Amino acid sequence: MKKLVGLLIAVIIVAGCFSIGAYAEEKSGNVYFTLSDSTGKIIFAQEKITVVDKNSDGKFNVDEVLFAAHEAKYTGGAAAGYASAVTQYGLGATKIWGDTSGNFGYCVNDKMSNGLSDEVKDGDYVNAYINQKMEFDPITYEMDADCYSFFDKKHIDATPGQNITVTLTTIQYGADFQPVNIPAVNATVTLNGTETQYKTDANGKVTFAIDNEGEYLVSAIGDDPMLVPPVLKVTVKSAETTAQVTSSNVSKSPKTGDTTFVLLTIFAIIGLSGMMITVKQYEK
């Protein structure tokens, strides 16, 4: 009887090891998330968010990204600030950042999303926004809403006073209601929320410079059309500072790798060894 009990214990140990391994391998990934509210305030600016495959379909979608973002930063988590539901148009958000207006939009890698079910991959850029204005004409079927806008770069490293040139583009809709990329003309560049004298030209291009070192959030505003705030991160460092940082990084000892797999392997070996010993004793 004791031998049988030992055998059962060994089996439980091995099963537990495999369960731990399955949990550790739960599908997760990182995306860069941006969110602006109905006042044009940027709440997330390309912030790295860890996303989990909640519905276990082997991939991520926009819904899971929004859920993870609210869990990470909204007071009370996703339960308080975010909600989604399936309608005749598919899976859509009913609440974003506590707003229940339904005036929402989403983009993945600066392409308009069809809905929350759209696939998102590890390393993608996901942008969500609440329109500052949204008016629909039932006679002409025309929609007057914010225009999604984006820079042609996500992040730039520069030195103080260096000229930085970027292009700002809007996504608008043509006569066939298909999205079309159009240069953002006469948009004003903002730096950490403050308007500058820099404006985009007829091709959406603008050149500006930042004099002081630091981390900067570059965006833009416009009234015709009203823009969904674009996001560009600029890191300004002098050549001397960059050299010092590089030297410091080289002198650091290398990081150790992830030990999760090693630990799981050890547990599995111990469990299997215990089971084999118990089986041999049972056979005697």
Residue that is written with structure tokens 């490293």 in the block: 157
What is the share, in percent, of the chain residues with pLDDT greater than 90?
A: 62
Q: What is the pLDDT of residues 42-100, one digit of tens each?
A: 999 999 999 999 999 999 999 999 999 999 999 999 999 999 999 888 899 999 999 99
Residue 20 confidence (pLDDT): 42
Quick one: the chain helix, strand, coil %, rounded to 5?
A: 25, 40, 35
The predicted structure's pLDDT at residue 114? 85
Cα(90)–Cα(87) distance, integer angstroms = 5
Residue ranges of the chain whose pLDDT lies below 50: 1-24, 138, 140-141, 245-247, 250, 253-265, 277-279
Q: Which of 172, 49, 34 is nearest to 96 (CA)?
A: 34
b/e burial code for range 186-215 (CB count within 10 A of at least 16 → b): ebbbbeeeeeeebebeeebebebebeeeee
Q: Output the pLDDT for position 41.
A: 96
Query: Cis ω on the peptide bond leading into residue 138 (within 30° of 0)?
Result: no
**Token pair of 218, please?**
């570059």
pLDDT reported for residue 87? 86
**pLDDT at residue number 176:** 75
Report pLDDT for 27: 81
Tell me what pLDDT residue 133 has.
74
What is the pTM for the complete model shown? 0.75
pLDDT at 88: 84
